[in-house]
Each structure stands twice: as structure tokens, then as C-alpha cells.
């Protein structure tokens, strides 16, 4: 598998969950991978497990100084990414709520990380790619930004809807520069992020019951579409949402 041979890919939030799975797959497909995460030790451990084709980068996506410094260090080291997966985010279970019950601090924290953090990641990715002559940016969306799945998650749903809109805007602005921007929309995917649901049989059954294929998603379910979008196979795809959700948003 060498569909990404010669590519350098940065994946945010890749010390665990979907990001970790995508980083592993990209490496198997021949890419150099940058494990970008705010947890320095975890990022270093994942990079070490992949080997010499991986590098750790400490990045707090909600802090522009941190993001800018990480990209500058990578460019200086000869690791300027031509593929970026803006995947890092939070979902504040037990705090996010219906809008009448939602604390402003929870709203701000969610938006700061999920939406502003994605904005900063994409901003500095575009700057690097303009200098390099193009690239592919892939954002991680959510069914909550498309339908009523997020009725109890006002801040999270709004942040993901914003990401979907950001995709189209940036794709239109930089298509002529050879920069493609797309969003992958996974279904409910069982990672540490959603342990509050996965460890509650009733809640889990309720959400899995709304997936026509009849099971929860796994991190590996989104690897293939991300390889496609990162590779030459996806060179005519930009500004699009790719749902890999077991039919969840088709209903």
C-alpha cells in the first residue's frame, strides 16, 4: 500500500482515537506522518511506535501561538505537510446541553477548541501549502452538524456545523491554488471521547439503533476515505462532505 508515498501528513489529535488510526494507516500507505497533539508524551509514544517515518509535534489547536510555532518548526525541519487532517476536538458530556440549560463557559470552551481550533489549524495549513504549491486538508465533521442527532449537545453541534461551512468557504477560496478541502462525517464512533455513551447500555443502544447498518462506527471505518482524499485518487474532490456513517444521516 503506497498511495501516499512522498506525502507528509499532519493529523491533529492523533495520540488517540480516530486520529491515531488515521496516522497509522497513512504511515502504512507510505506517508511521513506528524503526530500533532497537546499531550507531548502521548504524541511521542505514538510517533515512536510508528518509527522513523513519524514525528511528534506538540500543538494546542486553541492557541494560535502554539499552532504557528508548530508549523514553523516543521517547515524548518523539512516536514512541511502537504496533507493535514484537522481532527482534534472535544465533546463535553455532562456539561453541553439544550440551549436553555447551557452555560456560556461550556459553549466557549467547545467553540474555542472545535471551531476556532479547526480555523487555526486550517489557516496555518493553507499558509504552508501556498508556499509549497498545494495540498489536501481534511476536516472531521459530525452528523450532529447535519441533523437532529445533537439536540442535547448545542455547543458541539454548532461547532461541527461551523466546520462543515468552513470547508466550503476555504475550498472555494483556494481551489485555484491547488489546495483541496473536504470534510469526512463519521457516525457515532466508539473512542475514548464518547465513553459516557459507550459505557451506558441504554444510551448506546438508542444511538446505534439509529444507524441503518446496525453497529457503531470504529476509527478504522474512516481510514479509507481519508486516504482517498489525501491521495491523487481524490484530486477532483473539494468542498464536499463525505458521510461514512452507516446511513445515519440518510434518514
Mapping DSSP to helix (H, G, I), strand (E, B) and coil, where does residue 185 land? strand
What's the CA gap between 162 and 14, in Å, rounded?
22
Ramachandran quadrant class, 195 (left: phi over 0; alpha: psi -120 to 50; beta: rest) = alpha
**Which member of 156, 174, 188, 242 is catalytic?**
156
Rg of the chain over all Cα atoms, to the nearest angstrom: 17
Alpha-carbon gap, residue 106 to 86, rounded angstroms:
21
User: Are 101 and 93 contacting, i.e. CB atoms less than 8 angstroms apart?
Assistant: no
Among 223, 110, 128, 238, smallest CA distance to 183 is for: 238
d(CA 156, CA 181): 21
**Would you call 188 a catalytic residue per the annotation?**
no
Catalytic residue numbers, as ranges: 156
Amino acid at each position: 500500500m503506497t498511495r501516499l508515498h512522498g506525502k507528509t501528513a499532519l493529523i491533529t489529535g492523533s495520540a488517540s482515537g480516530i486520529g491515531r488510526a488515521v496516522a497509522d494507516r497513512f504511515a502504512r500507505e507510505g506517508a511521513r506522518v506528524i503526530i500533532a497533539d497537546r499531550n507531548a508524551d502521548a504524541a511521542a509514544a505514538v510517533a515512536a511506535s510508528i518509527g522513523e517515518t513519524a514525528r511528534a509535534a506538540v500543538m494546542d489547536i486553541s492557541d494560535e501561538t502554539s499552532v504557528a510555532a508548530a508549523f514553523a518548526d516543521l517547515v524548518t525541519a523539512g516536514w512541511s505537510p502537504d496533507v493535514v487532517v484537522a481532527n482534534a476536538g472535544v465533546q463535553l458530556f455532562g456539561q453541553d446541553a439544550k440551549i436553555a440549560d447551557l452555560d456560556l463557559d461550556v459553549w466557549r470552551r467547545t467553540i474555542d477548541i472545535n471551531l476556532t481550533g479547526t480555523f487555526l489549524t486550517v489557516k496555518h495549513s493553507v499558509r504552508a501549502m501556498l508556499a509549497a504549491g498545494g495540498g489536501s486538508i481534511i476536516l472531521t465533521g459530525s452528523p450532529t452538524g447535519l441533523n437532529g442527532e445533537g439536540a442535547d449537545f448545542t455547543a458541539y453541534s454548532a461547532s461541527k456545523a461551523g466546520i462543515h461551512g468552513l470547508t466550503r468557504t476555504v475550498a472555494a477560496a483556494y481551489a485555484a491554488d491547488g489546495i483541496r478541502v473536504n470534510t469526512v462525517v463519521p457516525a457515532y464512533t466508539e473512542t475514548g471521547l464518547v465513553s459516557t455513551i459507550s459505557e451506558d447500555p441504554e444510551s448506546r443502544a438508542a444511538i446505534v439503533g439509529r444507524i441503518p447498518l446496525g453497529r457503531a462506527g470504529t476509527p478504522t471505518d474512516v481510514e479509507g476515505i481519508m486516504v482517498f482524499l489525501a491521495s491523487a485518487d481524490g484530486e477532483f474532490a473539494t468542498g464536499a462532505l463525505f458521510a461514512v456513517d452507516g446511513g445515519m444521516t440518510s434518514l
